[in-house]
Structure formats: structure tokens, C-alpha cells
Amino acid sequence: MTLLEFARGPGFQIALALLIVGILWRILGAVAIRFGKDFSKPRGGKQSIRGGLKAVLTYSAPPHELEKNIKFQHYTGYAWHIGLFVVIFLFGPHVFFFENILGFGWPHLPNAVVMVTGIITMAILVTLLVRRMIHPVLKVLNNADDYIAWTVTFLPLLTGTLAFYHLGARYETLLALHILSVELLMIYIPFSKLMHMFMVWPSRFRTGTDFSRRGVEA
């Protein structure tokens, strides 16, 4: 079995299984441990669930007076997440990959557009890594997970770009490394802060319902 065959076959299956089991384990373990009941009377009898659902969206755009000092971080955060989305879901070969699994596909962007997006995304990630290393607040918060999560997110972008331009090794080898780096990311997600892609929604919802119950928009 070649490296590429391993990456496309058992490697992918193992990574997918760990990803799914890990995500379910962590979500169930955290979200379903013990629910508290709130006996207080909601303000104006308002449905706090609606406030929670609203907060899922509104936390994406904090009020100006709070956001004004974090604009760089906020917008670069949006930019690289959007970049990553474009690269994963709107790159032709990726769409074909998903089509093979799901049975349906969707339109994709021209390769050149995706490549430029990927390179910009990597540049932002490098900038944010440097910022993480030197920013006084982040230096207080940083731990190993911050750097490992950065690395496993960056590697698929890097290996994918190298594979597309056939840089550094045979295409098959680069493609295998690219797929393996994605599998590394998949395996690491449940063990890391990358779980925020799932946890952010119940977290925003819970805080949103809590504030909404009190008559305050979160």
C-alpha cells in the first residue's frame, strides 16, 4: 500500500471515526452533564429561547464601543475563517471529493482564485501566530493547544498549495501529505480548542437566553 493509498483509505476512515466519536463524546460529556432549572420569572414573560437564537447571530457583531479596540483581530479572524471556508468547500477538487461521498456537488471557484485565497489565509494565520507570541494578553493565555491547533490548521493549507503547484516533491507524495495533514486536523479537533466550531453555538445560545430572560440583548 502506498502512502497515498493509506491516506485515501484506512487513514481517512480512522480519522473520520475518531472525529465523529470524539466530537460526540465531548459534546455529550459537556452539554449533557446536569441541567439547572431556572425558577425566576422572565422579564415581560418573553421567550428567552428566541433571545438565545438571536444571540447565536448577534455575538458575531459586538457593539461598536466594545469592538473598536479589537477591530484588527476581529476582521482578520473573519477573513481567515472565510478564506478557509472558500478553500475547503469551493475548490474544484474538494467539491469532487465531497460529491463522491455525499452524492451531490455544488459550483466551485476557479483554481487561481482559490489559490490566492489560500495564500492570503496563510499570510493572515502567520500574522496572527506572531501576534499570539508577542501580544501581552495572549502571552498570559497561551498554552500548547494554541500552537498545535494553529499548526494542524496551517498544514493542510500549506501542503495543499505545494501539491497544487507541484513544489518540493512528487505530486503523489505531496497529495498524500496533504490528505494526511487533513486527517491530522480531523483527529486533533475533538481534543482541542478547535471544538469551538461546535461549542460556540450552545455557548452563545445559553448566554443569550440568560440575558434575554433578564430583558437584555446579548
Partner 1 sequence: MNATTVETLETMRKKAKDAAEPRQLSDEERLERAKEAFLANLDSEMATHLESCIHCGMCAEACHYQTGTQDPRYTPIHKVEPLKRFYRREVDPLRAIRRLFTPKLTFQDLEAWKPLVYDGCSQCGRCSILCPMGIHIQQLIYVTRAGLAAAGLAPDELQGPADEQLRDNTLFGAGSEQLKEKVEELRGKGYDVPLDKDQADVLVLSTSHDFIGDSGTLEATVKVLNHTGVDWTIRSDAFESSNFGFLSGDEAAKKKISERIVNAAIDVGAKRVIISECGHAYPTLRWEAANLHQKALPFDVQSISEFLAAELEEGRLKVEKDDGGNRTWAYHDSCKMGRLGGAIEEPRAVLRAMGIEIKEMESHGRTNLCCGGGGGVILMESAQGLRRKAFTLKREDVDNTGATDVAVSCGGCRTTLETGKAETNWNINIHSLVEMVADRLAS
Residues binding partner 1 (CB under 8 A): 25-26, 28-41, 43, 55-56, 59-60, 62-63, 65-67, 69-70, 73-74, 77, 135-146, 190-191, 193, 195-196, 199-200, 202-208, 210-211, 213-218
Nearest approach in angstroms of CB 114 to partner 1 is: 25
Residues facing 65 on adjacent strands: none
Nearest approach in angstroms of CB 26 to partner 1 is: 5
- In this complex, which beta carbon is closest to partner 1, that of residue 167 or of residue 200? 200
Residues facing 91 on adjacent strands: 109
112 three-class SS: helix
Q: How far apart are CA 21 and CA 182, in angstroms?
A: 17
Nearest approach in angstroms of CB 46 to partner 1 is: 10
Note the helical H segments in 7-110. 12-31, 48-58, 64-67, 71-89, 92-102
- In this complex, which beta carbon is closest to partner 1, that of residue 73 or of residue 151? 73
How many angstroms from the chain centroid is the CA of residue 112? 23
- In this complex, which beta carbon is closest to partner 1, that of residue 41 or of residue 100? 41
Nearest approach in angstroms of CB 101 to partner 1 is: 28
Question: Sign of torsion, CA 167 170 171 172?
Answer: negative
- In this complex, which beta carbon is closest to partner 1, that of residue 67 or of residue 172? 67
